[in-house]
Structure 1
Amino acid sequence: MSSYFRPAVTAMTGYIPGEQPRPGTPVIKLNTNENPYPPSPEAIAVLQTLDSEWLRRYPTPYADDFRQAVSQVFAVPMDWIMVTNGSDELLNLLVRACADSDRPVVYPTPTYVLYKTLAEMQPAKVLEIPYEDHHRLPVEALIAAQGAVTFIASPNSPSGYSAPIADLRQLAAGLSGILVVDEAYVDFAEETALSLVHEFENVIISRTLSKGYSLAGLRLGFGLAQPALLSGLFKIKDSYNVDAIACLVGAAAMRDQAYKDACAAKVKASRQTLAIALKQLGFQVPEHVQTNFLLVTVPSHGNAGALYQGLKDRGILVRYFSHSGLENKLRITVGTDEQNQLLIEALSSLL
């Protein structure tokens, strides 16, 4: 039977998300980097008292309530903010608007696999440039590639490392295309590249409420860039891409920075404790990680795939990638201290 799809879609391999068991399933879920703590009470209160009129009417096309909250928190004008259905929609819009077979998508590897998936859907030419030793950003090679869109996840997944702001500044200055700094995990990091948006018209910062704000199920993200850059993206977004509930709940969560920061501080403290415990079991754990997860190398007498399955059999989910260079590693989301202790006990038994 002939394919109904474009050749690029037929040929591509779709993005495979981490396993998502149904709510209430008795598992310890440490595989998709959700925040282990509940959302802001302010956000929950909005959800519980929502007027049904918000459901009857279309939402505002630009999610103005949420844009106003972001504007207040980050001290940027509202027209420097674009709100999207998760940060993944923003990444998709950037590829759709800017890349094709002659205008490449460029990124260092290993990194977020969705960048490649989005380019393949377009289809657009892809240039993957390996990270240098010690996860240093290959700035010169990225500049030489001159991507229409250059993606830098900082902090990066799966490594957990942040790119120095000086390197990102050098990269932005050397590119003729757009530099996308994907800061999905920035709430667990020590610094942000937000200042580059004010310095360069070709830089856009991508953010999400899925990690630091404990709202992965809400599907809400946003981009920060100068209005001239955002204008092209507004042309191709869906008319009402963010629903009214997400807009209102997200705005409440955004304004409650104190709660978000307190939860992030607990995650960072647990991250350090978990790293020490994993090292004691013989895992190689990277230093100076800036995310809410750890990418660890299993002990020489262990097998990453077998450990992943053994943990799953015990009701603990972590992430295993069979990709080149990651076969002997597990990515483990930082849970609560109690969840992390159960993980350590299970790993000790399996090893």
Structure 2
Amino acid sequence: MGYLRKNIEAMAGYVPGEQPAEGDRAVKLNTNENPYPPSPRVMEALRVPADRLRRYPDPLANKVRDIVAGMFGLRRENVLCGNGSDELLTLIVRACVGEGEAIAYPTPTYSLYPVLAAVQGARVLEAPTREDFSLPVEELERARARLMLLCNPNAPTGVFTPVEAIGRIAARFAGLVVVDEAYVDFASDHAMRLAAERPNVLVFRTLSKSYSLAGLRFGYAVGPPELIAGLEKVKDSYNVDAVSIALAAAALQDQPHMRANV
């Protein structure tokens, strides 16, 4: 008798990029890490008082929420922090997609998406990109799915979809649209205005790429307060630790350093 759910036994798990051994002189390109160090403010913030570490962290990371809200002219209630944007993707699938319901996304794209669908027992509706790797807009608009995941700029193609096009998709799509902006700091525009205006759009960001903090594991989601409050219900009690909160806040407060490195 197997103790795992049948869909877990049958699925293939996500395989993270290989990490070279300490001292390996290989040029590492497989997981798109930033070759430059993080902001000096991050290093200063590492001096977290030891007394703070014996206490539980702020369960909502409100210091970072306030910084992010200030960056985009939003409120704290529009922001949720996570243990990397991968955790946020896990939360949105867990909260919004039931067994047998569908998740839509273009292909090729981030290989974690089908894994999350498989864990949930959800169906996937894959819409192949066009020959130039642009989005199949009409197919996505018509998709009968609870959730749509759009990586923009897309990985691995690098193609950036204009925000106006994503807005049109969101206006015609009956479900929730998540814009995964892991690489957005390498583009000329972003979808935060959609997250502020539309009731069915969330934008996810990570500090792994442009902020040189892949080893920290910190990300945030921006969207309507009702959706953010729903995700708060299903996250771990203390999903980001005190050190991560301090370092993420320091990195976000040094925008000139980030801009100089992208």
Shorter-chain TM-score bucket reads over 0.9
Deviation by residue 1:160-216 (Cα, 9 ceiling, x = unmatched): 011111210111101221100000001111111111112211100000000000000
2:146 matches 1:148: yes
Shift of 1:65: 1.4
Q: In structure 2, the residue corresponding to 1:135 is in which secondary structure?
A: coil
Q: In structure 2, the residue corresponding to 1:258 is in which secondary structure?
A: helix
Deviation by residue 1:298-340 (Cα, 9 ceiling, x = unmatched): xxxxxxxxxxxxxxxxxxxxxxxxxxxxxxxxxxxxxxxxxxx
Q: Distance in 2 between matches of 1:21 and 1:119?
A: 29
Would you say the 8 A contact 1:92–1:118 is kept in 2? yes
Q: Which amino acid aligns with 1:148?
A: R
Shift of 1:236: 0.4
Change (3 A) 1:249 1:126: same
Tell me the equivalent position of 1:35: 34
Q: How does 1:129-278 map to 2 (within 5 A)?
A: 129-264=127-262
Q: How does 1:307-346 map to 2 (within 5 A)?
A: none
Please identify which structure carries the higher helix content: 1
Q: Distance in 2 between matches of 1:187 and 1:23?
A: 29
Would you say the 8 A contact 2:127–2:136 is kept in 1? yes
Q: Which amino acid aligns with 1:39?
A: P
Shift of 1:99: 0.9
Q: Distance in 1 between matches of 2:115 and 2:100?
A: 17
Q: Distance in 1 between matches of 2:165 and 2:238?
A: 36
Would you say the 8 A contact 2:100–2:121 is kept in 1? no
**Which structure has the larger Rg over C-alpha atoms?**
1
Would you say the 8 A contact 1:146–1:176 is kept in 2? yes
Q: Which amino acid aligns with 2:110?
A: Y
2:11 matches 1:4: no
Query: What TM-score comes out, normalization by structure 2 length?
Result: 0.97
Q: Distance in 2 between matches of 1:4 and 1:119?
A: 20
Q: Distance in 1 between matches of 2:2 and 2:229?
A: 35
Q: Distance in 1 between matches of 2:45 and 2:76?
A: 22
Aligned length: 262
Would you say the 8 A contact 2:108–2:156 is kept in 1? yes
Q: Distance in 1 between matches of 2:153 and 2:171?
A: 20
Query: What TM-score comes out, normalization by structure 1 length?
Result: 0.73
Question: More relative contact order in 1 or in 2 (CA 8 Å, sep 6+)?
Answer: 2
Q: Distance in 2 between matches of 1:252 and 1:114?
A: 29
Percent identity over the alignment? 48
Shift of 1:246: 0.3
For 1:72, which of 63, 70, 73 is the aligned residue?
70
Deviation by residue 1:72-124 (Cα, 9 ceiling, x = unmatched): 22221111000000000000001111112342111000000100000000111
Shift of 1:132: 1.7
Would you say the 8 A contact 2:201–2:223 is kept in 1? yes
Unaligned runs of 5+ in 2: none
Q: Which amino acid aligns with 1:213?
A: Y
Tell me the equivalent position of 1:304: none
Cα root mean square deviation, aligned: 1.1
Q: Distance in 2 between matches of 1:23 and 1:248?
A: 26
Shift of 1:16: 1.0
Moved over 3 A (4+): none
Q: In structure 2, the residue corresponding to 1:242 is in which secondary structure?
A: coil
2:91 matches 1:105: no
Q: Distance in 2 between matches of 1:75 and 1:257?
A: 16
Shift of 1:147: 1.6
